[in-house]
Structure 1
Amino acid sequence: MSHILTAPGAPFAVVRAENGSLVYAEGPRTLREFVEPTWTFGDQPFLVAEDRTYTYGEFFAAASALANRFLDTYGLRPGDRAVIAMRNHPEWQIAFWAAQLAGLIAVPLNAWWTEEEFTYALDDCAPRVLLVDGERLPRVSRWAEGRGGRERVRTLVFHHDGEVGAGMERYEELPPPDPAAAPPDVEVRPEDDATISYTSGTTGRPKGAVATHLAQAGAAMNPRFQAAASALGRGQIPGQGPAPITLMTFPFFHVAAFTSLYSAMAVGGTLVLMRKWDARRALELIHEHRVTHYAGVPATALQLLEEATAGNDPLESLTMLATGGAAAPPDLVARLTARYGERIEARNGYGLTETSGGVLANFGADYRRFPASVGRPTPVTELRIADPAGQTLPEGEVGELLLRGQSLVRGYWRDEAASAQAFSRDGWFRTGDLAVVRDDGRVSVVDRIKDMIVRGGENVYCVEVEDVLHAHPDVIDAAVLGVPHPVLGEEVAAVVRVRPGAGTDAGELRAHVGRRLAAFKVPAHVLVQEEPLPRNPTGKILKRELRDPVAEHIRAREE
């Protein structure tokens, strides 16, 4: 049915650009073009936090005032980098969009990083301005006063009552924005760089993925297409009905947040923010603000459903539960459907830092029928499955997922070697994920290439074993990894978090897997615990932190 949306002249029609990639024929070409129309939403609430609410009019006035300050007071010029290091304050969005209105390159940094991690990224991107909250200030101030002080880097501090150093200002002390003031008159071109987003660094040093304005404009159109396709699937006319009210639990620095952000901003929707994740507080906010859309990693979505089930909460205002940032266990949509039927639509998908957000999506009836799939690509996203030599594999065979399209980044910041390794000359990006495409175009991601276990010549996909473990009623979380074996090369190991007091042991879990999967896929070693598994701020399990506990568990069994 999506051809209705992509036919020539339709809202999501595509054309092929000179570089070979597909791009949307209509729609914005820069983030400045995308954000400028939002001022027309005026008094509609945009950002709702515990301490205050910004309407669209107030937000745009504040962003315009800060953009003018960047150029007129700080002496910045288009192309300079503006680092944003904050938790999910409403002012995060003001800082980001001020950078776009001024033609700067916004660099969102992970708010949970240590001083050492911040220093690495700051040295790498060499910003001219730091936009930081009081909590992050101690982790960046040494850099700002050292190298930053020598290179005239300005620092603007948000939500901070203490002292600030030389060259620093408090945002709350700036003059109030003029509601009638326009953003600065600067030229922003589609080919200009818009953002540098650092990879999560789960396998090594983070790399700065650089997205142009055209790429981010494509990323802004992608969720709008998915929302329209979802409406058609439900027999509705796209664009009808009230604007969404979204409970935003993704950290703003993560690309998954932008997928929900772009979708809301395009139609005047509202984002309800949380200071920190708490399932009970999330339920309170859903009722208080009549939240219609939930956006978060699968782990928080499952916790929300557990809390709602325990309290017999009908979640009567909720119509959409969207997850991203990490692989969703297949039983998530089953749990949602068992409790709420088809009233609340589940949405899952696939995206990376390098794709500027979600580029595949699975929703509605398809998601309920095929919960292990990440869905189909957006109109401007091409994909193919390749063998190690880069040759395209036929449908149904597992290989590396390669992507090409408008929203992909152009490469890594000042790292030609990494860019050349990840991108082919004709624009195909090597995701590092193993996937398979079915004959109806559905894609299933089976594992990371580096996470695949080769046991005695047999391939074991960690995700497949993790999905089976998640299906056990006592299992809250699970991670599967390979451990060395002198004869087989590798063996399968699992770390499983069970419900408190469940009493489930390793033998029961191994038997559970053995009833569903071949014997060579059954974990030889199972470490059972009630403590949470280590995850990064975007919800991905940090398997490198599990290797030592698993090794100790194996040694203890052998002694």
Structure 2
Amino acid sequence: MEMFDLLAHRARVTPDRPALEDLQSGERYDYARFNERAARLAAAAREQWGLQEGDRLAFLGHSRAEFFAMLFGCAKAGLILVPLNWRLAVPELTVLVEDCAPGALIFGGEFAEAAATLADQHPALTLVALDGAADGQHDYHRDLAAVQPDLNAHPDKDPDTPWYLLYTSGTTGRPKGVIQTFRMMMANYLNIGLAVDLTGRDVLLNVLPLFHTAGINLYSSAVFLAGGCVLVARAFDPDQALRVLERRATIFFGVPAVYQALLEHPDFSGERLKGVRSWGCGGAPLSLPVAQRYVDQGIRVRTGMGMTETGPTVFLLDEERVIDKIGSVGRPQLLTEVRIVDRDGRDVPRGEAGELLIRGPNITPGYWNRPDATAEAIRADGWLHSGDVARCDEDGCYYIVDRWKDMYISGGENVYPAEVEKVLEQHPALAEVAVIGIPDEKWGEVGKACYGLRDGAEDPGEDTLRAFCRERLAGYKVPKVFERMDALPRNALGKVTKQELRDAR
């Protein structure tokens, strides 16, 4: 499978079909214009910004449709796009820039100050402004208008050629740049596209950040390959999202925090959202109460699971089983193999928990400039060690029990914090909860539960919460310490960053 210019071929097949719309600016692209913008980006990168094949092109900005022209333009030019997490502070961004050494940085106007600081620290970095250039900076739109685009398909490349880098959140240490490739995108398209029956008639509302694999690939890149249309929101706004879901979208993918916010909106109604034929969820488990409320509204939200390292789709739950298999991420999809192993690498019996291993064409070749981390994660015969604890039931449905690193041992017994969290989430006063292991002289480790309250709820207190757990859990699983917090620390997709809780304990 050679790498070929997917966008040029799609533009040849369906040039006039709507491809992209920026919901903030109103700018629209059919596939012919989409391909032209990407071709102009490729030409401008070479002729205006001095980039050569293999160089990195960084992007710092909120979500916008033009991002995808950058992505496919980099494929045409043989560049490696690096979307930077705009939520990071400048010192954190500096670490990423030093790691990937981009030749140019495209930035949105809201990040002009951060971009200037990065350029001061890295004088060889060419700055390209999307929203008005200052002295010494390139103007993105003027540079693209000045070049002659080559609308022909670019030459074939090896399918494992690095296309873009996505940096991990760094919650477990130094961030790693996960290499993303053409092969991974094609595998994800087949894994998720077949599972949700994507067609050229589908319209996706994308509310997720584009520095994350979910924002790029669930389901945007797959929709482009199918010839559908992607509506790009600058950020998630419940009012806007409900309007678009009611009037235009046919498919949607969100994280639990997004689904919770939609559900709590006063205008939410399943009857109004009948035009959306497929709902997907990932990033964290969808709780039974939330899933049930959606089912009561005639909406079945399918939970899945993937990683940046897997492109991302690995699992997806069947629509008809969203309630009776609540908590499951479903079965592995077409182009993915999985195993569950013990600490010695031996397959565990069905029903038992162990580390999830994943293999297939959707697996990353490795981490940028990190052969050590690559060798640790991807071992014999191409199996990726996910770091997740999983189990498989008698029907072949998989459950992510917890993160391997989050598990702690109390008095010789394994404790999976996710199990404890699911119990505490049932308490009517709690809006959110996260459990971590902390050192203990007697037991080695014990649990600490950090929690936030629902609006208007009174704090039940440590003794009440401990008693609530004891009624539902074995004694060694009951947290020893309870701490109320105004808000739990979360990353861009709403997942609790437990390392911050460990660091603050």
SS of 2:218 mapped into structure 1: helix
Q: Which residue of 2 aligns with 1:280?
A: 239
TM-score by length of 2: 0.91
SS of 2:323 mapped into structure 1: helix
- In 2 relative to 1, CA 516–293 (structure 1 residues): closer, same or farther, beyond 3 Å? farther
TM-score by length of 1: 0.83
Distance in 1 of aligned mates of 2:437 and 2:372: 29
Aligned AA (1:203): T
Q: Which residue of 2 aligns with 1:300?
A: 258
Deviation at 1:433, TM superposition (A): 0.8
Q: Does 1:171 align with 2:145?
A: no
Deviation at 1:276, TM superposition (A): 2.9
CA contact (8 A) 1:283 1:308 kept: no
Q: Which residue of 1 aligns with 2:222?
A: 263
Aligned AA (1:306): E
SS of 1:189 mapped into structure 2: coil
Q: Which residue of 1 aligns with 2:466?
A: 510
Deviation at 1:206, TM superposition (A): 0.5
- In 2 relative to 1, CA 212–50 (structure 1 residues): closer, same or farther, beyond 3 Å? closer
CA contact (8 A) 2:44 2:143 kept: no
Q: Which residue of 1 aligns with 2:377?
A: 422
SS of 2:291 mapped into structure 1: helix
- In 2 relative to 1, CA 537–77 (structure 1 residues): closer, same or farther, beyond 3 Å? same
SS of 1:332 mapped into structure 2: helix
Distance in 1 of aligned mates of 2:81 and 2:346: 36
Instruction: Report matched runs for 1:484-503 at 5 Å.
Output: 484-503=439-458
Tell me, which stretches of 5 or more residues in structure 2 are unaligned? none
Aligned AA (1:54): R
SS of 1:174 mapped into structure 2: helix
Aligned length: 501
Give 2:129's match in structure 1, choosing from 139, 148, 157.
157
Q: Does 1:54 align with 2:28?
A: yes
Q: Does 1:144 align with 2:100?
A: no
Q: Which residue of 2 aligns with 1:325?
A: 283
CA contact (8 A) 1:95 1:131 kept: no
Instruction: Report matched runs for 1:393-404 at 5 Å.
Output: 393-404=348-359
Deviations 1:142-193 (A, max 9, x none): 33344342xxx433211x23524x2x31123335489985157444221322
Deviation at 1:461, TM superposition (A): 0.8
Distance in 2 of aligned mates of 1:45 and 1:387: 46
CA contact (8 A) 2:490 2:497 kept: yes
Q: Does 1:250 align with 2:194?
A: no
Deviation at 1:480, TM superposition (A): 1.0
Give 2:176's match in structure 1, choosing from 188, 207, 227.
207
Instruction: Report matched runs for 1:272-421 at 5 Å.
Output: 272-287=231-246, 289-308=247-266, 314-338=272-296, 340-341=297-298, 344-421=299-376
Deviation at 1:89, TM superposition (A): 1.4
Distance in 2 of aligned mates of 1:177 and 1:325: 41
Q: Does 1:37 align with 2:10?
A: yes
Which shows bigger deviation, 537-546 or 422-431?
537-546
CA contact (8 A) 1:48 1:270 kept: no
CA contact (8 A) 1:534 1:545 kept: yes
Q: Which residue of 1 aligns with 2:61?
A: 86
Deviation at 1:377, TM superposition (A): 1.1
- In 2 relative to 1, CA 313–139 (structure 1 residues): closer, same or farther, beyond 3 Å? farther
Aligned AA (1:293): I
Distance in 2 of aligned mates of 1:347 and 1:308: 23
Deviation at 1:283, TM superposition (A): 2.1
CA contact (8 A) 2:189 2:222 kept: yes
Deviation at 1:452, TM superposition (A): 0.9
Which shows bigger deviation, 392-401 or 76-85?
76-85
Distance in 2 of aligned mates of 1:370 and 1:124: 42
Tell me, which stretches of 5 or more residues in structure 1 are unaligned? 1-27, 229-237, 552-559
Q: Which residue of 2 aligns with 1:114?
A: 89
Q: Does 1:69 align with 2:69?
A: no
Which shows bigger deviation, 36-45 or 496-505?
36-45
CA contact (8 A) 1:347 1:362 kept: yes
- In 2 relative to 1, CA 38–364 (structure 1 residues): closer, same or farther, beyond 3 Å? farther
Aligned AA (2:21): L
SS of 2:205 mapped into structure 1: strand
Q: Does 1:480 align with 2:451?
A: no
Give 1:431's match in structure 2, choosing from 383, 386, 392.
386
Root-mean-square deviation over aligned CA pairs: 2.5
Deviation at 1:93, TM superposition (A): 1.3
Distance in 2 of aligned mates of 1:453 and 1:35: 51
Aligned AA (1:271): V
CA contact (8 A) 1:110 1:253 kept: yes
- In 2 relative to 1, CA 105–245 (structure 1 residues): closer, same or farther, beyond 3 Å? same
Distance in 1 of aligned mates of 2:160 and 2:242: 42
SS of 2:346 mapped into structure 1: coil
SS of 1:69 mapped into structure 2: helix
Distance in 2 of aligned mates of 1:72 and 1:331: 55
Identical positions, percent: 32
Aligned AA (2:38): A
Q: Which residue of 2 aligns with 1:536?
A: 491
Which shows bigger deviation, 215-224 or 96-105?
215-224
Distance in 2 of aligned mates of 1:419 and 1:245: 36
